[in-house]
Chain A
Amino acid sequence: MRNLSAINNPYNDDKLMSACSIFGAMDTSGKPFSGKRVIDAIRNMHVRGNGLGGGFAIYGIYPKHPDHYAFHIMYMSNEAREKTESFLKERFHWDHVEEVPTFKARRISNPPKLWRYFLTVGSSKHESQSDDDYVVDRVMEINTRIEGAFVFSSGKNMGVFKGVGYPEDIAEHFGLEDYEGYLWTAHGRFPTNTQAWWGGAHPFSILDWTVVHNGEISSYGTNRRYLEERGYVCTMHTDTEVIIYAIDLLVRKHNLPMEIAAKVFAPPFWEHIKRMPDGEQELCRTLRQVYSGLLLNGPFTVIIAHNGEMIGLTDRIRLRPLTVGEKGSMLYLASEESAIRLIEPDLDKAWIPTGGQPVIGRLQSSDKVLQA
């Protein structure tokens, strides 16, 4: 393991205040906004991270290709790109392909290439399989079989940008001020148990699901085994990855509402279940029995997002912070209230949810996102 003390503690004063920083902003009216304020907010929590990971997820970002799967793929080599592109060509219809533009950023060194592909599912899909399942399987194939290629995101009208650096540096590298979306999440990383590399930065994503996470998942081994029995392969060397596959399984494949998925991740204690009214007691008992392999143990705060929805959730004894800000149609979630206040000083409401209680923002009308 690399000695990180020079990075973590440049003042050498035996003080480490670090912890990951997470931030989310959503306009529930669906109106897109630029990344400028989001970058300001996550930069305000700079001292929580140590420059070993930063990233953003943006929803409503590709209004010209709303029905295409937008693949963001990171390549460590040209060979990886060639192999991946011939893999994709055989399995998808291509509509548009480009290298994601980057800019010179302070403190970003040796960035890998990021490419994006706007794809529709090809004829090699079996008709009994859904398009989404087909895409998940192909993502797993790329991540496990093609050396040096990693899919950052694969959802419609959304995209993940991430890498090794402070989040504001990653934003500069990808020029994120110039993108617009109605929902943004952001992360500044302070790696605890696992290495810092471009694929290991947050957000983690499959299809249009993304998660940013502060904490550590002690149940990683259990969760991973459960998910690998169901076709998900963990390739990113980081505990957070299991959350994103678990949410895809629970909500997309098993059709559970987000409120129920939250009870799977952060279930009430048996002591508390005992005192619930009958129906609720049975529900919580059943969830704990059926999905025991997906209970997330350990300290966590996460912001989960997909098209039309943003969810904040902490572990049931709230070992990591989460604060909420509301202003008109805007919903903000953050590790610290100061980050929200910096960009929205005059909030209608600022509050701290209790542990295990999901905070959910949803698009107000239909699934349509407004055009800029």
Chain B
Amino acid sequence: MVTATKSTVEIDAMGLTHRQMNARLRELVADGSQHIILRNCYGQKYIGTNLNTSVEIEIHGTPGGALGSFMKGPRITVHGNAQDGTGNTMDEGLIVIHGHAGDITGLSARGGKIFIRDYVGYRNGIHMKEYKEKKPTIVIGSSSQDFLGEYMAGGVLVVLGLDLAEGEYHRANFVGTGMHGGVIYLRGKIHDYQLGKEVGVAELDENDWAILRPLIEEYADHFGADAEEIIGRGEFFKLYALSLRPYGRLYTV
């Protein structure tokens, strides 16, 4: 079932359990493989978990839940859609999804980057956090369903709204509910009532563009889009937490 040379290895994932597949990945990485291609992937969970090198993993098919969870370093490309829980608590590394992703993408992430070509489901970036140089980043090409950035505590969420017609509003509700850190860069209009009450809206300044521009360029690189065209569409807003400790006074007199 395992073929090819030492540095590039192909795995036919058909019929493998998630346990077998992840054991195989750990063996291959320990053996020095640098590029692993998974074919016929149908729903195996936790792919890439517990891997601590910069191995490249290319997935053909549909990976299961919690893709890249807890990983530190791997670069995962999905040729297809991802299911729920992509990048759960990931630490370092890169996940690029040539399609859409399900719910809770990037939940509790504490580092690394996730790029999604199309849209994402509910509660994306829920409770992302940051510490010093560790800053998780999620870039979403089109839009998000509800509860984007819920309880967000750190990191950067980008929503490019590429599926929105000119002047069209985002459809997500409860955006940034409970947000108390990090930043969401949103392209496209949004009503105040779609935002959590903990969220402020601001125009972008130079410092924001210094963060956002390279992310848009990286998105364009991954998916063959035109960064200048995206930036030229305008209507960029910054959503930020009004308080870094909204419940700090809850239990004090």
Residues of A at under 8 Å CB distance from B? 17, 44-45, 47, 271-272, 275, 317-318, 321, 323, 336-339, 341-342, 350-352, 354-355
Contacts and interface: CB of A to CB of B under 8 A. Distances in A.
Given A318-B103, A318-B145, A339 B43 contact: yes
Interface in B72-112: 80-81, 83-84, 100, 102-103
Contacts of A318: 103, 121-122, 145-146
B122 A317 contact: yes
Contacts of A337: 62, 81, 83, 102
Contacts of B61: 338, 341
A17 B43 contact: no
Contact of A44 (B43, B119, B146, B193): B43
A348 to B, nearest CB: 14
Interface of B: 17-18, 41-43, 45, 61-66, 80-81, 83-84, 100, 102-103, 119, 121-122, 145-147, 171, 173, 193
Nearest to A319: B122
9 contacts: A321-B84, A321-B102, A321-B121, A336-B65, A337-B102, A338-B41, A338-B42, A350-B81, A355-B122
Contacts of B147: 317
A339 B64 CA distance: 10
Given A317-B147, A354-B145, A272 B173 contact: yes
B43 A45 contact: yes
Contacts of A275: 193
Contacts of B121: 318, 321, 352
Nearest to B41: A338
Contacts of B62: 336-338, 341
A17 B102 CA distance: 16
Q: Is the interface of B mostly helix, strand, loop or mixed?
A: loop
A354 B102 CA distance: 11
A342 B14 CA distance: 9
Contacts of A341: 42, 61-62, 80
A317 B119 CA distance: 17
Contacts of B84: 321
A356 to B, nearest CB: 10
Given A17-B66, A44-B43, A321-B84, 9 more contacts: A47-B17, A275-B193, A317-B146, A318-B146, A341-B62, A350-B81, A352-B121, A354-B146, A355-B122
A342 B44 CA distance: 12
